[in-house]
């Protein structure tokens, strides 16, 4: 285990409307505002998304099991923002997606299309160096602390 202490800095509130690309829009805000470290919460609904529902086996690196969401689902999610070794933001988003009382909790990865509305609340964190470079042993981008 490793940890660092930081400070909350700027706070952003973003509204996504029906048909918007949620993850694409989040990437745009992060790049435009140069949010290097952050935490976010989102609430609303998605009409479409490509998600990971778990690994096939509990091994490293994991082989993800993909699922496609292709009907409106209620959305409640939380995630983090750190940049990779190529100076690109890496978003890690876990969401609970509900459909008529049935829910699934997933890692939301791509193809996110908003249904009606998504509200996004970003908290920028400063006071430490962190990034999310590729971690070959694990097969994913891992949070890593700098000096």
Q: Give the residue ranges of the chain where pLDDT is below 50.
A: none
For residue 65, CA distances in Å to 68, 92, 94, 97, 102 come to 10, 16, 15, 16, 19
- Nearest in space to 79 (alpha carbons), one of 145, 116, 125: 125
- Nearest in space to 51 (alpha carbons), one of 32, 64, 38: 64
Q: Does domain 22-145 have CATH number 3.30.1330.80?
A: yes
Rg of the chain over Cα atoms, rounded to whole angstroms, equals 16
Q: Where are the domains of the chain?
A: 22-145
State the Cα–Cα distance between residues 17 and 95, nearest whole angstrom. 18
How does pLDDT run across 115-143, given as a tens digit for each residue?
999 999 999 999 999 999 999 999 999 99
pLDDT of residue 147: 78
pLDDT of residue 115: 98
């Amino acid at each position: 285990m490793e940890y660092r202490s930081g400070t909350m800095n700027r706070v952003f509130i973003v509204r996504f409307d029906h048909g918007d690309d949620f993850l694409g829009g989040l990437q745009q805000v992060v790049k435009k505002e140069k949010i290097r470290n952050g935490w976010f919460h989102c609430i609303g609904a998605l009409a479409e998304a490509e998600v990971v529902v778990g690994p096939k086996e509990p091994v490293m690196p994991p082989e993800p099991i993909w699922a496609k969401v292709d009907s409106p689902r209620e959305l409640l999610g939380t995630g983090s923002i750190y940049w990779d070794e190529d100076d690109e933001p890496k978003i890690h988003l876990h969401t609970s997606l509900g459909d008529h009382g049935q829910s699934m909790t997933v890692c939301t990865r791509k193809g996110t299309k908003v249904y009606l509305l998504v509200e996004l609340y970003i908290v920028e964190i400063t006071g430490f160096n962190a990034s999310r470079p590729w971690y070959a042993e694990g097969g994913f981008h891992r949070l890593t602390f700098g000096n």
